[in-house]
Structure 1
Amino acid sequence: MNIALLLEMAAEAAPDRVGLVCDGKRWTYGDLLAAARGAFSIIQDSGAEYVALLDESSEAAVIAVFGAALAGVPYCPLNYRLPDADLAALLGRIAPALVIGDEERVTRIADGQGHTIFSREEFTLKAQETVPADDAREYDPGEGIAIQLFTSGTTAAPKAAILRHSNLLGYILGTVEFASAGEADAALVVVPPYHIAGISALLSSIYAQRKIVMLPAFSPEGWLALVEAEAITNAFVVPTMLARIVDAMESGTAARTASLRAIAYGGGKMPLEVIHKALERFPAAGFTNAYGLTETSSTVALLGPDDHREALASDDPKVRARLTSLGKPIPTVEIEIRGENGEVLPLGEPGEIYVRGEQVSGEYKEKSALDAQGWFPTRDAGYMDEDGYLFLSGRADDVIVRGGENMSPGEIEDVLLTHPAVADACACAIPSVEWGEAVGVAVVTRDGFDAPEETELKDLVRLRLRSSRVPEKIAFVAELPYNEMGKLLRRKVKEVLAG
């Protein structure tokens, strides 16, 4: 099957229902399908081997992803925040492509690569005007690659992660009920189009027949204004976005948010203080922590609304700790925790998270990362407790190895964050002559507090954990580096600590 089936079903069931709102313009599901079919014809005529998007979220992204699917060409949204040299290299790897978005930049950095280039406006208009000749063209049945996303490439050249139609449909059909949204339901999408969260939000909302409202450039004021103007019922945010939204509300930004029934978050670690404040600010909304990866077609574990409220109301430390968990695996996937030699570890013991299921691709253009039994190593470190809740400790590569002892940065950070003067903290490995690696931390002081004494923080860690976890070096910084999806950039913190 083809992911375009999701849009076809929605358009057949409710052609006149509004499916998309962007920059004030409204598109019905019938409009979107007609434009996607026009895009299919444009893509076929171009001879392109990929459809690339170099732009913010817009109607062009929706039309392009489904047009590419109908044409049997991989859709490859690119990170427009990358430097020119990096972006030119990625464009070279997908040449010849039909590229939508920043015409001037693509022409300047990738001239001679053989691309067909459209601005957002030109592509959208031409897709609307083009009517394919049904008797002369056939849509792709959807047995190949639907989406290709380049990884961040923090330590090496970016890998091309591949998601096939079967992977994406395995996720959507297994987790979303068709036409389950009411006519008033509206989802606010603010994550970038080159992130799997944005793609999965698009596909799941269309299959549910929920109105999608796009906010191309995030600001807390713009987000709150759209919630009110479009009576938003569902939203997905990353932790840094939610923190800024809560701060704006506490600073007096007017907001009518009574329509919000569901707020999902993911993409990075959610500070306890932020989720506590958010639960208070949005008392009628159900919060969901969604954990997933590009290679798993998005979500594989969920901490649902009932878990959030139960944990918040409980006096039991074990139950309250669930607010820091990823929740439980969704029914369509399996999750195991494995040790260094690939052995399955018992409950409560930390190791690497492995996942398996129809939605799990684990495939790159360069190679497949699946083992013989179909398990994908996420490179995330974590453990599962006796009640089946999954806890994340960080990336497996981030583990600090001090004198042969493995330490999770997350457990050290959680302790530091209990100090009233600490607003944010990051622990990572620093070189040590004696131990090979030692613990270094960067700390952000909370507004209105003086920076705590280093001995205070060291004693706190020693008291709550053990002496081997005590930081050898502490740096006080104005803020920690996060990317636009709220992921902490530990490599940059290491640079600060090295300095």
Structure 2
Amino acid sequence: MNLTMLLDMAVDGFGDRVVIGRREGGITAAQLNDMSIAGAAAIRESGADAVVYLAVNGPAFPVAMFAAARAGVPLVPVNYRLGAEQLQSLLANHPRAIGIADEAQSAALAQAGLTVLSPEQWLDTARRPVEPVADESDSEGDEAPAVVIYTSGTTSAPKGVLLRHENLTSYVFGSVEFASAEPDDAALISVPPYHIAAVANAITSLYSGRRTMVLEQFTPAQWLQTARDEGITNALVVPTMLSRIVEAEVDKNVPTLRSLAYGGAPMPAAVIEKALQMWPEVGFVNAYGLTETSSTIAVLGPDDHRAALASDEPAVRARLGSVGQVVPGIELEIRDAYDEVVGPGIAGSICVRGDQVSAEYAGIGRAVDDRGFFNTRDKGYVDEGGYLFIGGRMDDTIIRGAENIAPAEIEEVLLRHPAVLDAAVVGVPDEEWGQRIEAAVVVRPATVIDVDELRSYVRATLRGSKTPERIVYWDELPRTETGKLVRRHVLERLVAQVEKV
């Protein structure tokens, strides 16, 4: 099934409902359909084989996605924060694309030989009246690539992940009930367009009938004010955003807010506990997924959050730090170093299978085993109740002597300290041990804590071999816009600091 079928269903079910933008002057489902038809015509006229989107999130993004689907070409949302060399390398993969770019980025697309429209010009183009074309979508149907998303490249060069119509529609049908939103429901999205969550929320919100609002530049005060002004009922944030909202000294009352989803990076226990106490009536949802899996594959729902917070049983309380249970349609296995499936409580590689799992890279193919399972390269384990706990990336493992150490375990302890806002732990090359453990920490404003005191705090919970040998204080850690820690930048800076001494 092509993505355009979701839009066709929305038009039939609630065509006059505003589904994009503000309550006043937003785009209805019927208008979005007309704009996708006109946009597809413009794509065909240009002879483009892809639509490169190099701009901030906004109404132009979903219009581009559905127009591309109707034209039978993929949408390629690109990180507008990439360096010039990396951006040019990526654009070289799409020489025949049409580009949609903000003014600051248009020169890069033009230099790559692409025809460039601003988001405003694109929307004007999509508003022109055209006659629908019979059999609009590509003959490949749901087998064709719908979106190509380049991975964040936090540990290596970005790879283009191919998400086919079949993958994305399978995710929608397994996650959302059609037309389930109330007429006044509205979602506030605070993730950039080149992240899988932006794609997933655009299509699931449309399918449910929920209006979406995008906050282009996040600040706690602006997020809260927008949520109040627009009657936001559902919101999506990354952990660093929720942390800043919780810590902000502003009015946090949002009377319409019913659900808040978060994901993209580990959530510090102290932050989610404060948020649950701050908004006890709000249903919190932790969503875990990857670009390669078309977004969410496991969910910790509102009832799970409340049960964990209220429980005195350690195993249940610990689930507040889990990502919940796998969604319908996903099969999960935890495998050891010998590729054998392990039981509850034993950590290993997280492997998944399902129709929404793409695991396909441009120029490479599908990265699945002979049973169709994709190794996410995330470490984790499942408890007796089927709750999945994430332990970081396999590539992040610190090998000190003959011992494998997970940085996430040490970071979790550091983040429990009341003075610590953020923490990163890495393995630094060491002649004697192979790697030594070092940490970079962000402390709360106007807070002073001795390094030795912080090391003792870690040692009191973990054994000495897992205590960082060096801890430094930074104003902030290098993270992507979606909150992912860029460990290679942490390592580079720590090594550089030592070399300067």
The TM-score bracket by the shorter chain reads over 0.9
Q: Deviations over 1:444-470 (max 9, x none)?
A: 22334322242x333333332222212
State the Cα distance separating 1:90 from its structure 2 match.
Answer: 1.4
Does the CA-based 8 Å contact 2:20-2:213 persist in structure 1? yes
Matched, 1:126 2:125: yes
CA 215–23 in structure 1, closer or farther in 2 if over 3 Å, else same: farther
Deviation at 1:443, TM superposition (A): 2.0
Give 1:148 deviation, angstroms: 0.3
Report the equivalent of 2:34.
34
The separation in 2 between residues aligned to 1:437 and 1:339, in whole angstroms, is 23
Q: Cα distance, 1:110 vs. partner?
A: 4.2
**Secondary structure at the counterpart of residue 483 of structure 2:** coil
Using a 3 Å threshold, how does the CA distance of structure 1 residues 268 and 154 change in structure 2: closer, same or farther? Answer: closer
Q: Which residue of 1 aligns with 2:387?
A: 389
**Contact 1:51/1:99 (CA < 8 Å) preserved in 2?**
yes
Aligned mates of 1:113, 1:438 — CA distance in 2: 44
2:179 is equivalent to residue 179 of structure 1: yes
SS at match of 1:232: coil
Change (3 A) 1:470 1:75: same
C-alpha distance after superposition, 1:70-100 (max 9, x if no partner): 1110110111111222212211211110101
The aligned counterpart of 1:451 is 449
Q: Which amino acid aligns with 1:445?
A: V
CA contact (8 A) 1:426 1:442 kept: yes
Q: Which residue of 2 aligns with 1:21?
A: 21
1:239 and 1:183 map into 2 onto residues whose CA distance is 29
Rate the CA distance shift 1:214–1:154 in 2: closer, same or farther, 3 A: closer
**Equivalent in the alignment of 1:5:** 5
Partner of 2:373: 375
Question: 2 CA distance for matches of 1:63 and 1:472?
Answer: 52
Letter in 1 for 2:360: E
Whether the 8 Å contact between 2:99 and 2:109 is mirrored in structure 1 is no
Return the alpha-carbon distance in structure 2 between the equivalents of residues 419 and 10 of structure 1: 48
Query: Which range is displaced more, 187-196 or 336-345?
Result: 336-345
Question: Matches of 2:104 and 2:449 in 1, distance apart?
Answer: 47
Deviation at 1:22, TM superposition (A): 5.1
Contact 1:56-1:217 within 8 A present in 2 as well: no
Identity of aligned residues (%): 48
Q: Retained in 1: the 8 A contact 2:56–2:216?
A: yes
Q: SS at 2:81's partner residue?
A: coil
* Contact 1:41 1:132 (C-alpha < 8 Å) held by counterparts: no
SS in 2 for 1:378: strand
Contact 2:269–2:416 (CA under 8 A) maintained in structure 1: no
Residue by residue over 1:1-52, the C-alpha shift from the partner in whole angstroms, topping out at 9 and shown as x without a partner, is 1011111110111111111115964111111100001111111111101111
Alignment of 1:163-242 (within 5 A): 163-242=163-242
- The offset of 1:104, in angstroms, is 6.2
Deviates most, 436-445 or 225-234: 436-445
Q: CA deviation at 1:170?
A: 0.7
In structure 2, the residue matched to 1:419 is 417
Secondary structure of 1:48's aligned partner: coil
Letter in 2 for 1:349: I
Quote how far apart the aligned CAs of 1:317 are: 2.1
Q: Please report the TM-score for the alignment, with normalisation by the length of structure 1.
A: 0.95
CA distance in 1, matches of 2:373, 2:472: 39
SS at match of 2:26: strand
Per-residue Cα deviation, 1:316-354 (whole angstroms, up to 9, x for no partner):
222211111111111210111111221112221111111
> SS at the partner of 1:341?
coil
Q: Which secondary structure state, in structure 2, belongs to the residue aligned with residue 434 of structure 1?
A: coil
Unaligned residue ranges in structure 1 (runs of 5+): none
Contact 2:381 2:389 in 1 (8 A): yes
How far did 1:211 drift?
Answer: 1.1
Residue 422 of structure 1, CA deviation:
2.7
Q: Aligned to 2:418, what secondary structure does the other structure show?
A: coil
Contact 1:48/1:116 (CA < 8 Å) preserved in 2?
no
State the partner residue of 1:64.
64
CA displacement 1:101-149 (0-9 Å, x = unmatched): 235633x3344644221111111111111413535x6333333100001
Which structure 2 residue ranges, 5 or more long, are not aligned? none
Q: Report what 1:439 is aligned to.
A: 437
**Equivalent of 1:313 in 310, 315, 340:** 310
Is 2:298–2:323's contact at 8 Å kept on the other side of the alignment?
yes
Deviation at 1:408, TM superposition (A): 0.9
- For the residues of structure 1 that align with 2:468 and 2:157, how far apart are their CA atoms? 32
Q: Is the 8 A contact 1:10 1:206 kept in 2?
A: yes
Q: For this pair of structures, how many residues does the alignment match?
A: 493
Report the residue type matching 2:164 in the other structure. R
Alignment partners' CA distance in 2, 1:74 and 1:122: 20
Amino acid at match of 2:122: F
Q: Which residue of 1 aligns with 2:362?
A: 365
Deviations 1:130-175 (Å, cap 9, x if unpaired)? Answer: 413535x633333310000111234443211000000001110111
Instruction: Return the alpha-carbon distance in structure 2 between the equivalents of residues 214 and 421 of structure 1.
Output: 33
2:343 to 346, 354, 361: 346
**Counterpart position of 2:115:** 116
- In 1, Cα distance between equivalents of 2:450 and 2:318: 25
CA contact (8 A) 1:22 1:214 kept: no
Counterparts in 2 of 1:23 and 1:247: CA distance versus 1, 3 Å: farther
Structure 2 Cα separation of the partners of residues 476 and 46 of structure 1: 52
Equivalent of 1:270 in 264, 267, 272: 267
2:450, 2:389 → 1: CA distance?
A: 29
Residue aligned with 1:142, SS: helix
Q: Write the distance in 2 (CA, Å) between the matches of 1:362 and 1:460.
A: 41
